[in-house]
Chains A and B, each alone.
Chain A
Amino acid sequence: MTPTPLDRLARATPPSMARRVRGLSDRTIAWLFVAPTIALLLAINIFPLIWTVRLSFTNFAANKPNAEVKWVGLRNYERILTDDGIWATMQTTAHFLFWTLFFQVLIGFTLAWLINRKFKGNDLLTTLIVLPMMLSPAVVGNFWTFLYQPQIGLVNYMVELLTGTPASSFSMLGPGGLAPWSIVIVDTWMWTPFVMLICLAGLRSIPDYIYEAAEIDRASKWRQFWTITIPMVLPFLMLAVLFRGIENFKMFDMVTLLTGGGPGNETLLTSIDLKREAFEKWRTGYSSAYAIILFVTVFGLASIYVKALNKVKER
């Protein structure tokens, strides 16, 4: 079985070779090697995080360095948790998360399953399919606005070609309710290969003898699929969903370039909203509280999910 990060965390420390050799002691070397990394992370991750917590209890505004900073207690948190606008962005984010995961799992798994038919050239096609996910989301997102242009865009043209709906009669990024789906399409285009690769690894990890045994038991292909393939791939699939879930919860670059949160607030994901609060309105204290709430949310959801993942793997 393939180890996951958690497996490896749990794995017992390998037997030590701790014995004195010439030169520095192992202990010194261990610290010398690990310390710079920890120091860097403390300086650029942990110290700022603590600072953010502190700021979240103030009315500090980064664009008014001369103004007096006041403690406001929990008021920022109160304002955020009672703000309808923020709940709306959470819903938008949930919509985006759910549908991107849904399509990526569906298409990604199907592709992996097809590629696992081991036809000639499957390696080449796999490499080509993977290309979009390695590219800069900002640059790609920006270019998709061109593909989504009404009139001259490729997407509208294709729709006209295939369905006869006139290309200028709808706007993928404009009002009319299509924009939330447009961002799902681009994300699915980009990240389906990710799910596909992981599923493929899962499918390839299933030893042939299990199927052979099932054949002997005269289990139908359909039954084999549901009783062997799916359960064996499930841990892999769940891992893929974890990664994609965290990444899409953080989503900023691609959607900013595509819609900037518009039209109206139809695609205003939390990260984009946070950017507006923090770097356009400069409500630093308020947005610090917002950031903390987001961090706690993603951390909490991820922990619950990881527990579920471990349960599935134990079976």
Chain B
Amino acid sequence: MSGVSSSWSVTEPSKLSKWLAATLVLAYTLITLLPLLWIISTGFKSGPDSISYPPKVVFEPSLEGYVNLFTTRTRLGAEAFAALPPPETWYDRIVRQSGMVIAGPSRFGERFLNSVIIGFGSTALSIFLGTLAAYGFSRFKVPLKDDLLFFILSTRMMPPIAVAIPIYLMYRQLGLSDTHLGMILLYTAVNISLAVWLLKGFIDEIPREYEEAALIDGYTRFQAFRKVVLPQAATGIASTAIFCLIFAWNEYAFAVLLTSGKAQTAPPFIPTIIGVGGQDWPAVAAGATIFLLPVMIFTILLRKHLLRGITFGAVRK
């Protein structure tokens, strides 16, 4: 795939065309990043600055959005407000400026934690099951192998809402609605197709000779898998894990239909962050920033395997 020849001859683009291309691509990059920069900067605006017209590019940074994200606030009567002792902490002070007091923590922390638990739980399970299945498909004659592999893939074609109808009924019956376990199992089922396809590709690339040698050395098949194949596939497993994690992290449709509180993840929660009288955009932006940042970092780490991940291993670079 990476068979780009290093000898530039007639195919080497001219200086001018390079410049032109660079300029155009740079322009596109700036435009496409603008919404993301806007999210991040809105998180640091005060309420009035966030909805000012014309939109403010230069503004006095404020942590109001982040404080509002993590707290619930209440408006006291004028007398009660005046009778309060002076604010003790910096976040108390920020809230008091808008004539309110902190009533308690918000639910954002819990929802974020749910995202972490369900994301990592389902990733661990998908990788565990996916590695075994991928190895099985890669190395052994499995009856109906091609059909099974295609079946695994086709489960990804179902619209999530269609899948959710029977799952909803099933979970209600089993008591799995709004539980971490229910969401972990569901995300694992969705992710496993990706995990199997990607990992099978990675394991196919590991020469069989290594295992053969190990078997001859007296390893059992299982030992060979553990001591030879797994270490070799480590990079592949790691990048597959990140793809699974990102899917579970971003998923919305199942989360909004099958969870309501205890196991609700951040994506259905963030759009429902509202302040007193109107959507609190700085708080939404703050929540979005905290939520999106890990994925941005992972994307940059993953850039070498990105293509492979998003095409189920169909295109390798």
Contacts and interface: CB of A to CB of B under 8 A. Distances in A.
Interface in A99-125: 107, 111, 114-115, 117-123, 125
B39 interface: yes
Contact of B53 (A44, A48, A152): A152
Interface in A1-58: 2-5, 8-10, 13-14, 16-18, 21-24, 26-27, 29-34, 36-38, 40-41, 43-45, 47-49, 51-52, 55
A197 B5 contact: no
B117 interface: no
Interface string B194-215: 0011001100000010011001
Contacts of B9: 208, 212
B277 interface: no
B132 A33 contact: yes
24 contacts: A2-B314, A3-B314, A30-B141, A34-B137, A37-B133, A37-B196, A41-B155, A41-B192, A45-B155, A47-B170, A118-B13, A119-B19, A130-B299, A137-B250, A138-B267, A142-B288, A208-B4, A208-B7, A252-B252, A252-B253, A270-B159, A274-B161, A299-B157, A302-B157
Given A27-B140, A36-B132, 7 more contacts: A5-B150, A131-B299, A135-B36, A140-B292, A143-B35, A252-B252, A274-B159
Contacts of B55: 152-154, 157
B306 interface: yes
Contacts, number: 345
Contact of B166 (A55, A132, A143, A154): A55
Contacts of A33: 132-133, 135-136
Interface residues of A, number: 119
Given A5-B312, A111-B25, A250-B159, A132 B36 contact: yes
A310 interface: no
A238 to B, nearest CB: 11
A239 B311 contact: yes
Interface string B19-61: 1011011101100111110110010000000011111000000
A235 B145 CA distance: 25
Contacts of A151: 53
Contacts of B192: 37, 40-41
B249 A48 contact: no
Nearest to B128: A36
A287 interface: yes
Interface of B: 1-5, 7, 9-11, 13, 17-19, 21-22, 24-26, 28-29, 32-36, 38-39, 42, 51-55, 129-130, 132-133, 135-142, 145-146, 148-170, 172, 185-186, 188-189, 192, 196-197, 200-201, 208, 211-212, 215, 218, 220-223, 246, 249-250, 252-253, 257, 266-268, 270-271, 279, 281, 284-285, 287-288, 291-292, 295-296, 298-300, 303, 306-307, 310-317
A139 B292 contact: yes
A215 to B, nearest CB: 4
A26 B221 contact: yes
Which of B32, B150, B156 is packed against the most chain A CB atoms within 10 Å? B32
A125 B25 contact: yes
Nearest to B167: A48
Nearest to A153: B55
Contacts of B285: 143, 146
A139 B166 contact: no
A5 to B, nearest CB: 5
Interface of A: 2-5, 8-10, 13-14, 16-18, 21-24, 26-27, 29-34, 36-38, 40-41, 43-45, 47-49, 51-52, 55, 62, 107, 111, 114-115, 117-123, 125-140, 142-144, 146-147, 151-154, 157, 167, 189, 192-194, 197-198, 201, 204-205, 207-209, 211-212, 215, 236, 239, 243, 246, 249-250, 252-253, 256-257, 270-271, 274-275, 278-279, 284, 287-288, 290-292, 294-295, 298-299, 302
B157 A295 contact: yes
Given A36-B133, A208-B11, A17 B151 contact: no
Contacts of B11: 208, 211-212
